[in-house]
Structure 1
Amino acid sequence: MQGYFVRIAPNEVSVSHPDAVRQLLHAQIAKGPWYAIMSLPDYRYVNQMSELDPKEHIRKQRNIASGYALSNIIQHEPHFDAILRLLTTRLNDFCESGQPVELDRWFTFFAFDAVGEVIFSKSFGFLEQGKDVRDAIANQRLLAPYATVMGHYCWFHNLTLGNPLLSRLGIQPSSHVFDTCIAAIDARKKNPAKRNDMMQKWIDTRAKYPDRMEEVEIFSTAVGTLGAGGDTVSATIQALFYLLIRHPRHMIRLQDELDAAHDRKELSPIVKYDEAQRLPFLQACVCRNTLPVVKVWF
């Protein structure tokens, strides 16, 4: 790494100096081999997270960028609202019955159903059924410690959980998630009435640049985004409520802000993105406190 240090004084070097940063940006340093384990469901499906070659990573990122655009995500708000209403109904049922509720489970159910909607307009039914369907989420949590260790032994992973034979047989821990992705992609190809979700953005990119984007990238990106997005959304919601419960005065202040905005008729029954943007204390709770905690976790 000596070539990326910039001497700024006779006995001083810097890695944060603008010249050093420019050298690092143009260096295109390859990722470590550990990231290869992020290819899901098996080693054939290399996504933007598992791609080690910096040039290929840039190409893949350029192909899928349109799906992640905020303008594309925002248009799915009505579908998020339906999932939020279902979550509210489930939590109200617990309140009326007086039974304890495992918020982490229900927040995770919501997160994966919501991410499923934005990727390919199809939730997994976790909230509707009120359970972890085929233990897909539980199995995915077990994959985290597995990946932590086996990422250093990818050759062994490719013989076991990363083996294409297991994905063909559908006996991997997250086979339900993969099966749902495959079914959604197949249904999309046959359905002329399509929604402009992430999947459609990637299909359109593939149609426009067939020489730049392979079809297998659509599936690998969908699965990778689902796993990363579901966990991150769930962790963010859990962290937010955990911190608020641990600090009641902040919970009260946030409730007061929400009540005041409601009295001014500035909030919809299900708060919209642009309405939430005008709530400064809510934004402080999410952006300045919760998200930094989640980044440390991940």
Structure 2
Amino acid sequence: MGLQMKYHLKLHERYGPLVRIGPKHISFSDSSLIPQIYGITSKFWKVVNLPPGLREQTKLMIFQSDFYKIGIKRPIAGAYSMSTMKELEPMNDACSAILLRKLDGMVGQDIDLGKWVHWYAFDVITSITFSNRMGFMEQEEDVQNIIAAIEGRLVYNSIVGQAPYLHRYLFGNSFVTWLVGFIPALAVLNSSRHIVAFATQNLQRYQNKEFNTVHLQDMLDRFKRYRDGEQVMNDDELLSNAVSNIFAGSDTTAASLRAIFYYLCRNKEAQKKLLAEIDEADRKGELSDPVTFAESQNLRYFQAVIKEALRMHPAVGLLLERLVPAGGAEVAGIHLTEGTVIGMNPWVAARDKVVYGPDPYVFRPERWLEADEQSLKLMERNFLAFGSGTRTCLGRNISQLEISKVVPQVLRRFEFELAGPPGREWRLHCYWFVRQTGLICRVKRRKE
């Protein structure tokens, strides 16, 4: 555990396109199989490996498998649509303004930029969910230790998700759970109650109108919409969605923002091109202050930078697992029996030389601008940063909105360089999401 994405890459380099990584457990690297396994019409269902006690606490995030088939996703899909996200831009802008103010006070200093973008992402997700910014950036700390709680739970979930039988011997055992409570370093792994309590507290305050929600239409407002005279969601479902937003809504965006700034710092030519594009758009009056989502879509090189950074560093570093359907299936000329688990690691898909050319390990945004129509279609097919098919990440638009707005807004005024000795690398930790630490950067002011 910890660097599975690199391990899977090495396995396929050595053993080929289909590798057995466990009992009835197959990893594939042949990109031509993506439509069969992940396509909209695929019969391969998403795997749910968490034991019963964990399923309810992360129900929405885990059971995105067949929303369209069982009708769970439809009532809330509108709350995650891009049109809804655009309506929430003012909440995003308020968080961006705080980040800019904080960066302005740290010019010339070496900062942990990874922490700051995580605090930013968490302030945004609590703002658009509850109309209540929690103040991570203002307090410059992990408010109520919720980030640590989520990271601890991700470690545990990634382990028991791969080996569900372990749960009965770990936190499925009341004695172990009691004992771990006395060991802080391990107690954080059993933090699901803390996460749910955090969401419950904010939901109750929201329903008691403790927040200034007048004239605001946040995501909870959309979840609570009525249809044909009946409320679409009950209180338990509202809580489930709130937990899902908190659990998965900040880590993925933070990982993507870290990747963008890291690779720009490592590739000065790319950073120079992006700054020039932003400056030119500013000169022509094509960017508002703050930058709108619509305006950011016209920054072609910037959009290529986003795609390339997320290709180099997909947020998820484990297999996107699917179950072979009833009767079995032929995959790459091999018959797989019913119930076999098969999946592709997004990091493996992103480094396919057949699709991305001879340099898939190189950060080169230009590849997205130079590709012809057919090549671009294949590159998009292999882009699994947000999943694929009907199981595409529900919060994709949240992440895209945040990234598209905050990065050009920040780079208008600041640029960054990696601090420390030359060649210093960040550190990666894969527990479902691939979290980065050690993104220490020096802040430099470009202009007011």
Q: Report the TM-score when normalising by structure 2.
A: 0.53
| Structure 1 unmatched runs, 5+ | 1-13
Question: In the alignment, does 2:85 pair up with 1:69?
Answer: no
Aligned pairs (5 A) from 1:189-200: 189-191=207-209, 193=214, 195-200=216-221
Provide the C-alpha distance between the structure 1 equivalents of 2:97 and 2:34, rounded to a whole number of angstroms: 47
Amino acid at match of 2:77: A
Amino acid at match of 2:151: R
Identity %: 25
Picking from 296, 299, 304, the partner of 1:276 is 296
CA contact (8 A) 2:68 2:74 kept: no
Question: In the alignment, does 2:221 pair up with 1:203?
Answer: no
Query: Aligned residue for 2:49?
Result: 33
Aligned to 2:101, the other structure's residue is in SS state: helix
Picking from 171, 178, 193, the partner of 1:157 is 171
1:100 shift after superposition: 1.4
Question: In the alignment, does 2:184 pair up with 1:184?
Answer: no
Amino acid at match of 2:278: L
1:142 shift after superposition: 2.4
Amino acid at match of 2:146: A
Question: In the alignment, does 2:117 pair up with 1:107?
Answer: yes
Provide the C-alpha distance between the structure 1 equivalents of 2:126 and 2:118, rounded to a whole number of angstroms: 12
Query: Aligned residue for 1:248?
Result: 268
CA contact (8 A) 2:256 2:315 kept: no
CA contact (8 A) 1:37 1:50 kept: no
Indicate the larger mover: 262-271 or 243-252.
262-271
Provide the C-alpha distance between the structure 1 equivalents of 2:265 and 2:287, rounded to a whole number of angstroms: 23
Provide the C-alpha distance between the structure 1 equivalents of 2:280 and 2:118, rounded to a whole number of angstroms: 30
Aligned to 1:101, the other structure's residue is in SS state: strand
1:201 shift after superposition: 1.0
Q: Compared with structure 1, are the counterparts of its residues 22 and 94 closer, same or farther at alpha carbon in structure 2 (3 Å cutoff)?
A: closer
Indicate the larger mover: 118-127 or 275-284.
118-127
Structure with the larger RCO, 1 or 2 (CA within 8 Å, 6+ apart): 2
Query: Aligned residue for 1:138?
Result: 148
Provide the C-alpha distance between the structure 2 equivalents of 1:227 and 1:137, rounded to a whole number of angstroms: 9
- The count of residues paired between Structure 1 and Structure 2 equals 270
Query: Aligned residue for 1:5?
Result: none
Picking from 227, 247, 253, the partner of 1:227 is 247
Indicate the larger mover: 190-199 or 30-39.
30-39
1:229 shift after superposition: 1.3
1:283 shift after superposition: 0.7
1:23 shift after superposition: 6.6
Amino acid at match of 2:219: M
1:221 shift after superposition: 1.3
Provide the C-alpha distance between the structure 1 equivalents of 2:249 and 2:51, rounded to a whole number of angstroms: 17
CA contact (8 A) 2:99 2:137 kept: yes
CA contact (8 A) 1:109 1:127 kept: yes
CA contact (8 A) 1:107 1:234 kept: yes
Provide the C-alpha distance between the structure 2 equivalents of 1:49 and 1:89, rounded to a whole number of angstroms: 34
Query: Aligned residue for 2:363?
Result: none
CA contact (8 A) 1:60 1:213 kept: no
Provide the C-alpha distance between the structure 1 equivalents of 2:228 and 2:194, rounded to a whole number of angstroms: 28
Query: Aligned residue for 2:283?
Result: 263
Aligned to 2:59, the other structure's residue is in SS state: coil
Q: Compared with structure 1, are the counterparts of its residues 62 and 263 closer, same or farther at alpha carbon in structure 2 (3 Å cutoff)?
A: same
Q: Compared with structure 1, are the counterparts of its residues 57 and 296 closer, same or farther at alpha carbon in structure 2 (3 Å cutoff)?
A: same
Q: Compared with structure 1, are the counterparts of its residues 207 and 227 closer, same or farther at alpha carbon in structure 2 (3 Å cutoff)?
A: farther
Amino acid at match of 2:139: Q
Aligned to 2:160, the other structure's residue is in SS state: helix
Indicate the larger mover: 150-159 or 275-284.
150-159
CA RMSD, 1 decimal: 3.5
Picking from 101, 108, 112, the partner of 1:89 is 101
Provide the C-alpha distance between the structure 1 equivalents of 2:93 and 2:40, rounded to a whole number of angstroms: 43
CA contact (8 A) 1:67 1:201 kept: yes
Amino acid at match of 2:48: G
Indicate the larger mover: 184-193 or 86-95.
184-193
1:193 shift after superposition: 3.0
Question: In the alignment, does 2:63 pair up with 1:51?
Answer: yes
CA contact (8 A) 2:58 2:243 kept: no
Provide the C-alpha distance between the structure 2 equivalents of 1:17 and 1:276, rounded to a whole number of angstroms: 30
Q: Compared with structure 1, are the counterparts of its residues 70 and 158 closer, same or farther at alpha carbon in structure 2 (3 Å cutoff)?
A: farther
Q: Compared with structure 1, are the counterparts of its residues 255 and 135 closer, same or farther at alpha carbon in structure 2 (3 Å cutoff)?
A: same
1:287 shift after superposition: 2.4
